[in-house]
Chains A and B, each alone.
Chain A
Amino acid sequence: MIRTVARKIYIILIFIFLYAPIATLMILSFNASRTRAKWGGVTLHWYISLFDNREILQALWNTLFIAFISSFIAVVIGTVACIAINYMGKHKRAIVMGITNIPMLNADIVTGISLMLLFISLGIKLGMGTILLAHITFNIPYVILCVMPRMKQLNPSTFEAALDLGASPAYAFFKVVFPDILPGVLSGFLMAFTMSLDDFIITHFTKGAGVDTLSTKIYTEVKKGIKPEMYALSTIIFVTVLLLLFLINKAPKEKLD
């Protein structure tokens, strides 16, 4: 009895630790005072003025655009890579997986710097394009990480059976293999999207002047003081995701798991 209570208290404490800053930001989004040091009463002002702030809206658009496109491309390249890796010999597979692990295990600052050096020496102008290339690069490993276990569980005979029955390889893939690995592909996409959305360090080094994502925008605002609209926007994003997850969990559970 005491043990279960102690366990519950421990979990609650950790959750307070993890979610206290998030609650703080949400409360700040309703703060009528412009500085976060003072409480000036409750207002919805920032939620309204947010939609007049073109800079923040542009940064939001850039962030979502980069996250979506980079995760999508990473999912395509990563899934195809998983199929190929699955057919590789033990040796080759070890090398490819080793290289795949580099962006995940390497420090973000080193990945960012290395990509920046590459783009600059190739004469590619830093901007949206370079951010996208960088995000695809660090997203692919997350996709492979999510899809690979599903791939390993596949029964190779089903694909071969489809071929024997006259399906083309592409048709057999989409009819037989793809449905089985779909949960891995989806979680890979979600993971990549989240990582891309939350990334600051790699974007910081691969972005050019004039292009901002929400992260880099916040970073430049740190010294001047964060605009309260930013808190409002973050609250909207967080609550939206929370509601979506709640709805997904409430929805009749399909055979995803």
Chain B
Amino acid sequence: MKNNGIARKLLSAPYIVWAAIFIIVPLGMVFYYGLTDKTGAFTLENIAAIMSAEHAKALWISLGLSLISTVICFFLAYPLAMILANMNVSQHSFIVLIFILPMWMNFLLRTLAWQTLLEKTGVINNVLSFLHLPALNIINTPYAIVLGMVYNFLPFMVLPIYNSLVKIDPNVVNAAKDLGANGIQTFFKITLPLSVPGIISGITMVFIPALTTFVISKLLGGSKILLIGNVIEEEFTQAGNWHLGSGLSIVLMIFIIVNMVVSAIFDKDGEGSFL
């Protein structure tokens, strides 16, 4: 039996070493850079930099657009997840595949395709003018960014909600109906509360990437609208101020950690997981 203990330690070693080097240490480095200046002295300046007009504006726009996108994703995804859950598709994996499949077309190209669709003389406007409807001029505006976010992250809202809906015991729903609850009551008293883990993990999986994206704003916002992700990316790739970039990343991580804690509270068993 003692032998077994050593064997188990050996089994866990590769991953624990890997996680320490490539997950924990790098995060430590972000904190190190974020909390020091170029001479290596401790400073809070890089974090306080978020208060400067330019950075604060970027953060507010990011928060606003990602919140709007998350809400839209939720209202689009919930009915869809309910319909899919009620379809009794024998192959659960088939539904997952339909939402994973677009990922095989490159994410940048898919987002760029929206340019072609949204442009002044683009596909959508041609269809609209054919139908004698007013043109839609949203390319290079915050609306286009929201559309890009909803488009890219909708699957991450649908799948967790779908998973938690499928897991609901139909007997519970039937019991509610037997006891005289109507459809609306059953939904708000039974279905919705039982799908909360899925909703929470869906919100996390949409909100965080939307909040931190720099690609969608660059491709669909016409590089006029700076999100906090754009600011950080430029600090690392162009301005070369890693300390400032890391400091702003720490600010982002505060939002991420709050989100993780909230989802941990609601989703103790990982029930609403992505798969």
B is a partner of A: yes
The answer to the question of B176 belonging to the interface, with a C-beta cut-off of 8 Å to chain A, is: no
Q: Are A114 and B15 in contact (CB under 8 A)?
A: no
**Segment of B137-145, B188-196, B251-259 in the binding face:** B251-259
Nearest-neighbor residue (CB-CB) of B214 within chain A: A109
Query: Does A69 touch B at the CB level, under 8 Å?
Result: no
Interface residues of A in 97-119 (CB under 8 A from B): 99-103, 105-111, 113-118
Closest 4 CB pairs of A and B: A84-B12, A114-B26, A21-B113, A81-B15
A-B contact pairs, 22 of them (CB 8 A): A11-B80, A20-B117, A24-B123, A25-B105, A25-B113, A77-B14, A77-B18, A81-B11, A83-B11, A84-B11, A87-B11, A107-B252, A117-B246, A133-B22, A145-B273, A146-B275, A191-B100, A198-B103, A200-B107, A215-B107, A219-B108, A226-B112
State the B residues within 8 Å of A (CB). Answer: 7-8, 11-12, 14-16, 18-19, 21-27, 29-30, 33, 76, 79-80, 83-84, 91-94, 97-117, 119, 121, 123, 151, 154-155, 204, 208-209, 211-215, 218-219, 229, 232-233, 236, 242, 245-246, 249, 252-253, 256, 259-260, 263, 273-275
Write the chain A residue with the least CB distance to B18. Answer: A77
Chain B binding surface SS class: helix
Report chain B residues within 8 Å CB of A19.
102
Q: Which residues of A have CB within 8 Å of B33?
A: 117
Q: Which of A100, A114, A133 contacts B29 (CB 8 A)?
A: A114
Residues in B neighbouring A88, C-beta threshold 8 A: 12
The CB with the most chain B CB atoms within 10 A, among A19, A107, A111, A200, is that of: A107
Q: Which of A24, A100, A113, A214 contacts B117 (CB 8 A)?
A: A24
Residues of A close to B108: CB separation below 8 A: 200, 215, 218-219, 222
B residues in contact with A22, CB < 8 Å? 102, 105, 110, 113
Let me know if A197 and B104 touch, CB within 8 A: yes
Quote the shortest CB–CB distance from A58 to chain B (angstroms): 16
Is A114 within 8 A of B80, CB to CB?
no
Residues of the B chain whose Cβ atoms lie less than 8 Å from the Cβ of A102:
23, 27
Residue ID in chain A nearest B273 by CB atoms: A145
Chain A nearest CB: distance from B59 CB in Å? 13
Q: Which residues of A contact B105 (CB under 8 A)?
A: 21-22, 25, 234, 237-238
Q: A18-B154, A22-B105, A136-B22 are in contact. List 11 more A-B contacts (CB 8 A).
A: A80-B14, A84-B11, A87-B11, A107-B208, A107-B252, A108-B209, A117-B29, A118-B25, A214-B106, A230-B109, A249-B91
**Which residues in B have their C-beta under 8 angstroms from that of A158?**
none
Which chain B residue has the least Cβ–Cβ distance from A195? Answer: B103
Any B CB within 8 A of the CB of A30: no
Residues on B with C-beta less than 8 A from A238 are 104-105
With a cutoff of 8 Å between Cβ atoms, the chain A residues found around residue B233 in the complex are 109
Q: Which residue of A lies closest to B9 (CB)?
A: A84
C-alpha gap A198/B253 in the complex (Å):
23
